[in-house]
Every structure is written in structure tokens, then in C-alpha cells.
Amino acid sequence: MDIQKGNHNDKVLNQNLNDKAPDQQLLIAQLLFTEKPQQASPEKLQAALEKFVGTVNNISENPEQPSYAVEKFKAEFKDSVPIPVLASFVGPYDFAAELDELKSSQFWDVKNGTELMNACKYSVSAFSMLSGGLHYKQQAELFLAQIEAALECYPDCKAIYVPHSGKLTLPSYFYEGRQYGMTQNFIRTAVNARFFRISNSEDMLVDTLGFYAFGAADVQVHFHGMEPGHVVEYVYNIADYLFQSEFAVKSGDTIDGIDRDGRIQPYIEWHAQYEDALIQPVRTVLDINCGKFAAGTREK
């Protein structure tokens, strides 16, 4: 399938369908800076992190890479006792944006996102070790807590980049998202709704990229004849429902669709099933067949 940028640019994007997403991916947030920030002390980071997750203990002797055992979140693995997850911070280090055209075409939440990425020369990374042994909602909670702690200690941050989803946002967008609760703020920060036009047709595709990081399915709608902005909002709403419902939708289920004004309507029933994604990286997606607006063919 040949795809184009989501706007009306005729540039054809090359994709590699051998690019298969891993079953799980480390959640990493990169705080980006145009000027090198002063390094926050381990004590300052610890105090900031404890505001959001309670007691933590720094187990690292390297001040440039503090790592905190988080008592609130203990990973459980087979044949072992629960182990505190490690919340780690690295940097500030030199940063150089590594963007292909596919990634840079999907910075929908930041105006001139590619230019901003290229202007940033330093980064501080936040991630957690052993978090694969947590429930995905706990992983998300800790991820957001680490970002907020890092933003408190590095107030000159220009942007937040999440590599596994290609999501680029501004700190102000992150802070605004707190009012909507953990689920929506995680999706706003770490899940990217992408929009593509299919070459030589009227077909379009919107998918989410991000849930595969903890082994769950993303969302995909392959369509024509609908307003793309409505579909983007729709897939974000479906992603929110999946996250909150423990991914309760099964293949063959019906799901509420949207009307021509983009409003979700219970009388519009669309069928859903799990398939391989049409756009790289190849991963499992919940494909939503939008009835008369559906494009392409579906797996049986």
C-alpha cells in the first residue's frame, strides 16, 4: 500500500512492512531542550518524584543516572517475590533528532514539530525498569509521574517526545491534560493518532500508535467519505474506552460508530476485529469496519 502525508501533499511515503513492532516496548519520554540545562540533583528529582508516587529510594551512585526503587509499584514475575520497579532518569545528554518522513509527517499536536525537534540539541530521558511486570495502568501512572517530576526539575523543557509512538507534545499540553485524568493524559502524551491518504484513491487511514508498548492493540480505521478530523477524534475516543475497559472488545463485536457530524451514536453499529496493521510498524490493531464508509478489504 502506497501512502501519502495526511495533508494534501502528493509526496509518497515509503514504508517498510518488515518493520514489526516488538510484543512490548520500553516506555521512554525524552524531555527536549534547545540549550543544555543544569543537571538536577538526585535529591531534587527524588523529592519531585515522591510527590506523585510516595516513597522512593535512589539505588544509583551515578548522579547523571539516578534510579529510584518505587515502593508503590512492585513488579510480579513468575517464581519470584514482588520487586520494586526502578524509575530512572538519564541526562542531560546531547540529542539529535532521527526522523524519517513518515515520522515527521505525524506531528499533529505541535506546529512546526520537525523544526522544533531539529532545534533541540539536548535531552533528559525518563523510563522505568522492570515495569513490564506491572499492570498496564500502573505502567502509565508511573510514566506520567516521571514526566511530571522531570518537568518540575527541568522547567526549560521545550517539548516531550515519546519515541515508540512518535508523539511530540509541549509541556503546556501535558499540564493541560492533567485535568482529564490519568487515562486521557497518558493517551495525549504517549499515543499518537496518525492520518494517511492512500495513493491514487479517495481512501484514507487513521490509526493509533502506542498501546503496543505494553502488549495491547492499537486502533485502525480504513475509510473514505468521512471528515478525517472526526475519525481522528473517534479513534482517540475508542482508545480511551479500550484502555479503561481492560481492552474488553473482542473480534466480531460491534462498536458504536459516528454520524456525519462526528458524534458517537449507539444506533450506528460498526464491526470490529483484530488484524495486522496496514501501516508500519506491523502490530495488532483493532480494525473498525465503518460500514458504507469502509475502504479496502478485511481479513476473514
pLDDT digits (tens, 9 = 90+) for 100-154: 888 888 999 999 999 999 999 999 999 999 888 899 999 999 999 999 999 999 9
Q: Where in the chain is the domain with CATH 3.30.310?
A: 28-163
Q: Is the peptide bond before 37 cis (omega within 30 degrees of 0)?
A: no
16-30, 48-62, 121-135, 214-228: the lowest-pLDDT one: 16-30
pLDDT at 99: 84
The pLDDT value given to residue 5: 55
145 CB neighbour count, 10 Å cutoff? 25
Provide the pLDDT confidence category of residue 174 given band limits of 50, 70 and 90.
Answer: very high
Q: Which three cell numbers stand for residue 93?
A: 545528554
In one letter, which amino acid is 42? P
Average pLDDT score over residue span 247-257: 96
Other Cβ atoms closer than 10 A to 44: 15
What is the CATH code of the structural domain delimited by 28-163? 3.30.310
**Are 69 and 56 within 8 A, CB to CB?**
yes
C-alpha to C-alpha distances, 110 to 15, 117, 160, 170, 173, nearest whole angstrom: 23, 10, 10, 7, 9
Beta-sheet strand order (sheet of 28-33): 56-58, 67-75, 83-94, 122-129, 28-33, 159-162, 167-169
Q: What is the pTM of this model?
A: 0.91
